[in-house]
Amino acid sequence: MTSLCTATELRVVSGDAALIAYLRALRGQGVVESVFQRTLNLLTPGERLVALAVRGGDDAPLTLVTDADAWAERGISAGQAVEFAPGVITVRTADAPVRVHTEGADEWHPILPSLTALGPGDLAAAAAALDRLVRAHGSRGGMLGPTPTASSMEAAVTRALADGRDALVRAITSADDAGMRRGVLALLGLGPGLTPAGDDFLTALALLSSLHGSRLGPFGRALQDVLLEHPGRTTRLSVTTLDEALAGRARASLLDVLRALARPSGWSETRAAESIRTPVRHVLAIGHTSGTDILSGLVTGLRLEKELRGSL
């Protein structure tokens, strides 16, 4: 019997400019990779992972922010077919298709700051201000350590995260390439979820390594090598996120934090904390602990930048 249900028509409000350009010429069939309340993850015909976010979502690499209110109640499930054609993405559901129109969307371009002008004092103040906010408002269960009611498994994972972080920091400060690879492997894929806590931590370091003036270039190269050599070590979403961060591409709220911190002003820790309070709150809202784990990586990365500059 032919369904009498009409298609749901949705619109992309804003999106990654590079992704929008890629989709303009794309034709073929993809598939739904995963469905969440606020995000619909799709695989294109070339198996590139792209995300459709709900209204008010964060602009991010390989992401389109739509006018949808939610995805979980639309009859969409993993494995369903997705048709890609210029100007429209069509998800084939059991009831009626969901069409997402991309034409006319605002194009988002990630704008990176530079760390070149920041001195050791600026980096120390930035790291201290960010650390204070993360510890006061972040979520435990990942890089901040176990929750008060943690299971033995959670406690073991958080211990392993701390050990991996400490090993990686030692390797970076001593320019130990093999140690960096071991540290990355200790963290990569460690933790539950689509983006495990260890991966979120590494994402922040990867992004810092991509910035002009960063001293974390050797770490970035070690991470890239490990990702190539161990393709099944973590989730597809994490690999995509890490690859994008290494290329200097990350979600808008995280870049907002970096831009606020990257202004060489001689500010005190208190004033620096005030300048980043709003963007930090937005990042902390990501996932269960993901935002906290990303910002924990940023704190560590800023401290490493300070130490590495002091050794030159």
pLDDT, tens only, 240-255: 999 999 999 999 999 9
Q: Does 3 reside within a domain?
A: no
Rounded to whole angstroms, the Cα distance separating 15 from 138 reads 28
Residues 41 and 176 in one domain: no
Residues 141 and 96 in one domain: no
Q: Give pLDDT, residue 261.
A: 87
Q: Which amino acid is at 28?
A: G
Residue 193: band (very low, low, confident or very high) from pLDDT cuts 50, 70, 90: confident
End-to-end CA distance of the chain: 73
Residues 102 and 67 in one domain: yes
| Averaged pLDDT score across all residues of the chain | 93
Residues 284 and 306 in one domain: yes
Burial environment of residue 153 by CB neighbours within 10 A (0 to 12, 13 to 18, 19 or more): exposed
Record the pTM: 0.93
Residues 131 and 276 in one domain: yes
Q: Give pLDDT, residue 1.
A: 40
Q: Does 176 reside within a domain?
A: yes
Residue 80: how many CA atoms within 13 Å on its side-chain side?
Answer: 20
> pLDDT tens digits for 128-163?
999 999 999 999 999 999 999 999 999 999 999 999
Q: Does 114 reside within a domain?
A: no
Asked which of 63, 85, 108 is the last residue of a domain, the reply is: 108
Structural domain tally of the chain? 2
Q: Give pLDDT, residue 312.
A: 44
Residues 135 and 260 in one domain: yes
Bridge partners for 81 per DSSP: 31
Residues 244 and 295 in one domain: yes
Q: Does 113 reside within a domain?
A: no
DSSP 78-132: TT-EEEEETTEEEE--SSS-EEEE-TTPEEE-------TT--HHHHHHHHHHHHH
Residues 248 and 124 in one domain: yes
Q: Does 99 reside within a domain?
A: yes
Residues 301 and 204 in one domain: yes
Q: Which two tokens stand for residue 191?
A: 């933790």
Residues 31 and 176 in one domain: no
Residues 125 and 224 in one domain: yes
pLDDT at 127 over 80: yes
Burial environment of residue 38 by CB neighbours within 10 A (0 to 12, 13 to 18, 19 or more): middle
Structural domain of 69: 8-108
Asked which of 87, 108, 129 is the last residue of a domain, the reply is: 108
Residues 167 and 227 in one domain: yes
pLDDT at 311 over 60: no
pLDDT at 270 over 70: yes
Asked which of 77, 108, 139 is the last residue of a domain, the reply is: 108
pLDDT at 268 over 70: no
Q: Does 227 reside within a domain?
A: yes
